[in-house]
Amino acid sequence: MENAWERAITRGDVEAVRELLRAGADVNARDRHGQTALMLAAHRGYRELVAILVEGGADLNVTAKFSLSALMLAITAGHVDVARVLARAGADLRIRGSGAPGFAGKTAHDLAVGLSLEDLYAELRPG
């Protein structure tokens, strides 16, 4: 991932993210851990940045370590509002984690259940 994306997301800098999108920066570029700007913003709970990145064409279903998507990262960090934004934007609810026992074979719904995030249960049930 370009350092500019990582810096903008880490700072929660809405204007920098908008400028990167206007400049045509690759919204789906990955960092050294295979994560995109959307994944970083979701994990940090930056709802506004997540919404801007989704609107800017970010791929909702990219996965990185343990096959976790931005939606799944938001859930594991307890960011219910961010998870809701991603689910409503059309994130794939059938993606299953891998590797670590806490993630292997689990969907976003399973992760929400494991963390007792009851507000998300109905929205995250794979259809």
Q: What is the CATH number of the domain that holds 50?
A: 1.25.40.20
pLDDT, residue 101, reads 82
Q: What is the DSSP letter of 101?
A: T
The mean pLDDT value of the chain amounts to 95
- For residue 69, what are its two tokens? 């998507």
Domain of residue 35 covers: 3-124
Contacts of 19 by beta carbon, 8 Å cutoff, 6+ apart: none
Average pLDDT for 14-43: 96
- DSSP class per residue in 30-48: --TTS--HHHHHHHHT-HH
> Is residue 104 within 8 Å of residue 113, measured between CB atoms?
no
Confidence of residue 44 (pLDDT cuts 50, 70, 90): very high
Residue 49's closest CA among 13, 73, 78?
13
- What total of structural domains would you count in the chain? 1
| pLDDT at residue 2 tops 80 | no
